[in-house]
Structure 1
Amino acid sequence: MDTKSLILGLTAATTLALASIPAQAAKLDDVLSRGKLVVGTGSTNAPWHFKDAGDTLQGFDIDMAKTVAKALFGDAEKVEFVNQSSDARIPNITTGKVDMTCQFMTVTGERAQQVNFTIPYYREGVGLMLKEGGQYADYAALKAAGSSVTIAVLQNVYAEELVHKALPEATVDQYDAQDLLYQALQSGRADAAATDQSSIAWYVTQNPGQYKDGGYGWSPQTYACAVAKGDQDWLNFVNTALHEAMTGVEFDTYAASFKKWFGKDLPPPAIGFPVEFK
């Protein structure tokens, strides 16, 4: 057999082999056919994902997942949640156990090599929580007080460096549990607690008149959902659902969730030129 005939034969064989492989349904089609969305998330971190007294899963991450379910089926309840630890967020996506993960997941370059991130649905940062009516009115007063102030922070190798980015002279006390920060603030052992701004918003909302936000945030990080690589249609769909929740037809639902978990009223998107391109 000459070289040309050999090549033609191999090409024909390859074509037949490929044709015999059944087409794999895209994720969007797969989810629609299944009739429900499967989402990985946690259950122990308010206000993101936690259970109420009736054992019902709730939180801002849960609401974001339900937003996607509503876009898929017209029914926000057509979603199954898979309770997972933080270290399972990526493996459960890459193995196909879940369709997506919404679990206060910080976007990083390293993670983006393993999964595709959606558009952001929240921007986190560190803030300062103070007692209402306490010695220091706000961040400016804390900073002016220099080394006289003590800041409680969750124990971490970078904890002292993190606090000193905002308050260079402050004394830093580290605690190994989140609730201990609030206890230190309540008892007067700390003048402020440095923690996630979402946690501050939640705690202030749950304890009206007792605590307040110091009015300054730093160390920003982006929260987004994540999906498996290789399916642009699925990523585009989830992005569209989240985008319209924050800027379009589902804005009222998004704003109500934001108000419920963070105690803040969002201004409605401006009519006319799309605000996200300004």
Structure 2
Amino acid sequence: MKKLKQWIAAALAGVLALGVLTGCGQSGGSSSGSLESIKERGTIRIGVFSDKPPFGYIDSNGENQGYDVYLAKRLAKDLLGDESKVEFVLVEAASRVEYLQSNKVDLLLANFTVTKERAEQVDFANPYMKVALGIVLKDGGITSVDQLKGKTLAVNKGTTAETYFTENYPDINLLKFDQNTETFQALKDGRADALAHDNTLLFAWANENDGFEVGVSSLGSHDTIAPAVKKGNDELRSWVNDELAKLGEEKFMHKNYQETLLPYYGDDIDPEDVVVEGGALE
């Protein structure tokens, strides 16, 4: 019995010592997502979409492309000296917050609309885009939300569209999906009468898909899209804000628009209705 007590005491001492050493190791290193840890790693991990053209998608060569990706590469270049030093982490709308909270990404550039509820879970930097909700459907159909009552509306989980219709239109049947490809396919094959999403996405999609139109171009409040960091990561958020301000001096986001959005939008959309330059709304 005496030897057993001695063994238990020794084991507990070992556990305590290991805990102290582990704690010292954690406190001595830089926290995940800090500028120091990013520079030590040599890459910045940025969450983007893989299925939301023209904002974040994978092209035919397997490369990340889009409005968000264009900005991500520039941030990596200015922070780490090389645009290739960005590690793209593919996210879905419903997983964006979790990826920040669990340190899977340092920064989100996944077309993330700023809302009061989300700001309680993440910290948003200054905006780089304007957005509102819209509704797309087959040509010659619905032109107001009231016409959707009793019908089926496709939305993505974890989006402002899901929240808006859940709170304001409980008599509209929502068909929910994780991925954009699934949502738009449901509209194409008739499982949904219409689809609600960011109007900036719907303008491009309707332009690329014959037989469909944006029946309601602006719905609810006009919002902004902004980068997001983990709650409390003021250092990285401040750096992003300073960077957006510097990029505004060279009209970088307008260049981004010309390269990534104009080929999808054509001349039908005014860039000033979409682009936020320098991180500040005029």
Q: Smaller-chain TM-score range? A: 0.5 to 0.7
Q: Distance in 2 between matches of 1:199 and 1:253?
A: 18
1:203 Cα deviation after fit: 1.1
Is the contact made by 2:134 and 2:217 (CA closer than 8 Å) also made in structure 1? yes
Q: d(CA) in 1 for partners of 2:97 and 2:172?
A: 34
**Inter-partner Cα distance in structure 2 for 1:152 and 1:195:** 14
Q: Report the Cα distance in structure 2 between the residues aligned to 1:71 and 1:108, rounded to whole angstroms.
A: 28
In the aligned structure 2, how far is the partner of 1:121 from the partner of 1:261? Answer: 19
Which ranges in structure 2 are unaligned for 5 or more consecutive residues? 1-23, 156-161, 177-182
Cα distance, 1:262–1:161 mapped onto 2, change above 3 Å: farther
CA–CA distance in structure 2, aligned partners of residues 239 and 206 of structure 1: 34
Answer yes or no: is 1:56 the counterpart of 2:56.
Answer: no
Given the alignment of the two structures, is residue 266 of structure 1 paired with residue 271 of structure 2, yes or no? yes
How far has the Cα of 1:159 moved from its partner? 4.2
* CA–CA separation in structure 2 for the residues paired with 1:183 and 1:245: 42
Structure 1 CA distance, aligned partners of 2:123 and 2:184? 30
**CA drift at 1:61:** 2.6
Whole-Å Cα distance in 1 between the matches of residues 45 and 111 of structure 2? 17
- 1:153 equivalent to 2:158? Answer no
Quote the residue 1:90 is aligned against.
97
> Are the equivalent residues in 1 in contact too, given 2:46–2:107 (CA < 8 A)?
yes
1:205, CA displacement in angstroms? Answer: 3.4
Which whole-Å CA distance do the structure 1 matches of 2:279 and 2:100 have between them? 32
| TM-score of the aligned structures, taking structure 1 as reference length | 0.63
| Contact residue 136 and residue 213 of structure 2 kept, 8 A | yes
**CA 1:161–1:74: 2 relative to 1, 3 Å:** same
Shift of 1:248: 3.5
Secondary structure of 2:111 counterpart: coil
In 2, Cα distance between equivalents of 1:252 and 1:123: 13
2:186 equivalent to 1:180: yes
- Alpha-carbon deviation of 1:79? 0.5
Check if 1:103 corresponds to 2:110: yes
Task: Select which of 64, 69, 75 maps to 2:76.
Answer: 69
Equivalent residue, structure 1, for 2:225: 223
Q: Deviations over 1:2-58 (max 9, x none)?
A: xxxxxxxxxxxxxxxx9xx64747822332343321112332333333222332222
Kindly report the root-mean-square deviation, in angstroms, between the aligned alpha carbons of the 2 structures: 4.2
CA distance in structure 1 between the partners assigned to 2:135 and 2:239 by the alignment? 37
TM-score, L = length of structure 2: 0.63
- Give the direction of change, closer, same or farther, for the CA distance of 1:194–1:227 in structure 2 (3 Å limit): closer
Equivalent position to 1:234, from 233, 236, 244: 236
Q: Secondary structure at the match of 1:97?
A: coil
Cα distance change, pair 213–240 in 1 and its aligned pair in 2 (3 A): farther
Report percent identity of matched pairs: 25
